[in-house]
Amino acid sequence: MSSVRVRFAPSPTGPFHIGGARSALFNWLFARHCGGAFIVRIEDTDLERSTRESEENILAALRWLGMDWDEGVQVGGPDGPYRQTERLDIYRQYVERLLLDGRAYRCYCTEEELAAEREALLKKGEMPRYLGRCRNLSPEDCFRLEKDGRRPVIRFRVPEGEVINVRDLVRGDVSFECGGIGDFIILKSDMIPTYNFAVVVDDHLMSISHVIRAEEHLPNTPRQILLYNALGWSLPEFAHVSLILGKDRSKMSKRHGATSVEQYQEKGYLPEALDNFLALLGWSPGGEEEIFTLEELKQQFTLERVAKSPAVFDLDKLNWLDGHYIRQSPLERVTDLAVPFLEKAGFIATPLSRGKYEWLKMVVDSVREYLNCLEEITVHASIYFMDGVEIEGKEAEEVLAGEQVPAVLSAIQKKVASREELTNPEVKLLLKEVGKELGVKGKQIFMPLRVALTGSTHGPDLNQIMVILGKDKVSDRLARMLGKIAGQV
Ligand code: GLU
């Protein structure tokens, strides 16, 4: 195994955002490309917002997307536990070390005092930050304050006048002045570490070689570098991946549509389509090709080809990719994935008999070319399940108003009645015969027949529609349409 060790470290505080899935995928692809290790760690120190349910959803979504992990929650490993709330003793040891070294100190400021300081700085047009009121308290001061009932937080003593340079594999060198940072909290008064502290301890103890995460964490990185330095630890490589924007170039949000992996899963997007799409959000191998299997992505993924510019979430592209994979997948798989949608729409009831399943495969095959995601199957396949045919729009009505329509439809009806069963060659033949006998051309047969059977002027292959509907339904729909037309005259 190579020395590459990367991690995905989600905070389980809500739906699994596609930005998080993109970070996970980039880490996973990088690890797999390099023959390194991929670790999943749960950052649940926000006790109020973290839930086990959210953690489980994230982990299930990772597996659904085809990502496995070598170490982490659920699978274990030598550097566990992998859930931060189970590592509290570990963090406290390092807090202690920083306190002893004078690199951290106890701060007793109250919320009110901090708010007042913040307000004063803002008034002066300065960045709000902690100005170090408790920096030089003596042990006696601390004792007195604690006797008064104050519970301290632990702050890191940020060195004055230094400039921290973040060497980023995607963004290049980015500098931050320590003066703008202010002594930040590493351990809260409830003894829970803050993100910036826990992440450094964990990344070090888990020997993480590359920290690949979203750009929004870039401002945290100088704080983390200060902690690495104070603890005498070497730095990992950093790679901050650009934001994901909506098509209107504002930050991707609910306004732009579904933002969580679960929502796409629920709509019936295929995981390989989502992987392919997410991989291209900020990475490209160069060239025109846009379709990549997970295997190909693994082979081609490098951090050098991760773009600095923001990625744009283009739903049309996701739809296009998903449509591609729906058309390409084995029919049985697409059928199995379509079943829950058809069942929910009330079109079928499970368990399905063998015969019904085989029939359903034909249904799926006849409409899958129209689908952006499997949820849409209920719209396109409804022609096979509806009871009566509803005429859709003016164009369809005009088709039915044709002079020859009753003759054509009743000729077809008779032919259908004379057949044992409707197979593809039989249907072809009988329509040809009708054309010949009535002396009418293809379109004059196909259009009224299509509208009579489906209510619409467009849709799947007509022969296939007849085969799938079968003799009885075709006869029934033709009879009803003939009755309707006769009633209108
Ligand atoms: N828990 C952080 C998040 O979900 C992880 C950030 C990091 O990768 O360092 O944003």
- Judge whether 5-69+244-312 and 87-241 match in fold: yes
Pick the more confident residue, 282 or 254: 282
Q: Are the C-beta atoms of residues 224 and 208 closer than 8 Å to each other?
A: no
Which numbered atom of ligand 1 lies nearest the CA of 212? Answer: 8
- The burial of 288, by beta-carbon neighbours within 10 Å (0-12 exposed, 13-18 middle, 19 or more buried), is given as exposed
Cβ atoms of 45 and 193 within 8 Å: the answer is yes
Active site residue 267: no
Q: What is the mean pLDDT of residues 163-177?
A: 97
Residue tagged active-site, from 247, 251, 254, 344: 254
Residues 6+ away with beta carbon under 8 Å from 156: 98, 103, 104, 183, 184, 185, 186, 197, 223, 226, 227, 230
At residue 218 the predicted structure's pLDDT band, cuts being 50, 70 and 90, is: very high
**DSSP label at residue 208:** -
CB neighbours of residue 442 within 10 Å: 10
Pair 381, 342: CB distance under 8 Å: yes
The CATH superfamily label for domain 5-69+244-312 reads HUPs (3.40.50.620)
Quote helix, strand, coil % in the chain, to nearest 5: 55, 10, 35
Please, what CATH class does the domain formed by 393-488 belong to? mainly alpha
In degrees, rounded to 5, the angle at the alpha carbon of residue 314 between the alpha carbons of residues 313 and 320 is 135
pLDDT (mean) for 447-469 = 97
Q: Read off the pLDDT band of 89 (50, 70, 90).
A: very high
For ligand 1, pick from 199, 216, 244 the residue to mutate: most ligand atoms within 8 Å of CB: 199
- Alpha carbon distances (Å) from 452 to 21, 383, 428, 472: 47, 11, 17, 14
DSSP secondary structure string for all residues of 355-368: HHHHHHHHHHHHHG
Q: Where are the alpha helices (DSSP H) in 44-181?
A: 52-64, 88-100, 111-123, 139-147
Q: What are 43-58's pLDDT values in tens digits? A: 999 999 999 999 999 9
Residue to mutate, 16, 217, 237, 243, ligand 1, most ligand atoms under 8 Å from C-beta: 217
Q: Tell me what the pLDDT averaged over the chain comes to.
A: 96
The Cα 193–Cα 310 span in angstroms is 32
Question: Does 43 sit in the ligand 1 pocket, CB within 6 Å?
Answer: yes
Answer whether 206 contacts ligand 1 (Cβ < 6 A): no
Task: Quote the tokens at residue 192.
Answer: 């829970």
Quick: pLDDT tens for 91-113: 999 999 999 999 999 999 999 99
pLDDT above 60: residue 489: no
CA angle 366, 367, 370 (to 5 degrees): 140
Q: Domain locations in the chain? A: 5-69+244-312, 87-241, 330-384, 393-488
**Can you identify the CATH homologous superfamily of domain 87-241?**
HUPs (3.40.50.620)
**Cα 225 to averaged position of ligand 1 atoms, centre (Å):** 15
- Read off the pLDDT of residues 352-371 as tens digits, 9 standing for 90 and up: 999 999 999 999 999 999 99
- Ligand 1 centroid–CA 10 distance in Å is 5
State if residue 213 touches ligand 1 by the CB under 6 angstroms criterion: yes
Residue pointed to by tokens 């719209």: 379
Handedness of CA 284, 290, 294, 298 (dihedral sign): negative
pLDDT tens-place string over residues 117-130:
999 999 999 989 99
CA 217 to chain centre: 20
| Nearest to 17, CA basis, from 322, 262, 375 | 262
Q: Look at residue 138 in the predicted model and tell me its pLDDT.
A: 96
Residue 252 has a pLDDT of 84
CB 83 within 8 A of CB 73: yes
Q: How confident is the model at residue 247 (pLDDT cuts 50, 70, 90)?
A: confident
Mention every residue, 6+ apart, whose C-beta is less than 8 A from residue 201.
Answer: 87, 90, 91, 94, 193
Is the separation of the CB atoms in 206 and 79 below 8 Å? Answer: yes
CATH 1.10.8 fits 330-384, yes or no: yes
Ligand 1 centroid to Cα of residue 282, in Å, is 18
C-alpha of residue 195 to centroid of ligand 1, in Å? 8
**Inter-residue contact 360 to 347 (CB < 8 Å):** no
CB atoms within 10 A of CB 275: 24
Please name the residues in contact with 242: beta carbons below 8 A apart, sequence gap of 6 or more: 170, 215, 282, 307, 308, 309, 310, 311
Q: Which phi and psi angles does 3 have, rounded to 5°?
A: -85, 0
**Ligand 1 atom nearest residue 8's Cα:** 8
Output the CA 82–ligand 1 centroid distance in Å: 14
Of 5, 8, 11, the residue with max ligand 1 atoms within 8 A of its CB, to mutate for a pocket test, comes to 11
Burial 423-436 (b: 16+ CB within 10 A, else e): eeebbeebbeebbe
Split at pLDDT 50, 70, 90, the class of 1 is low
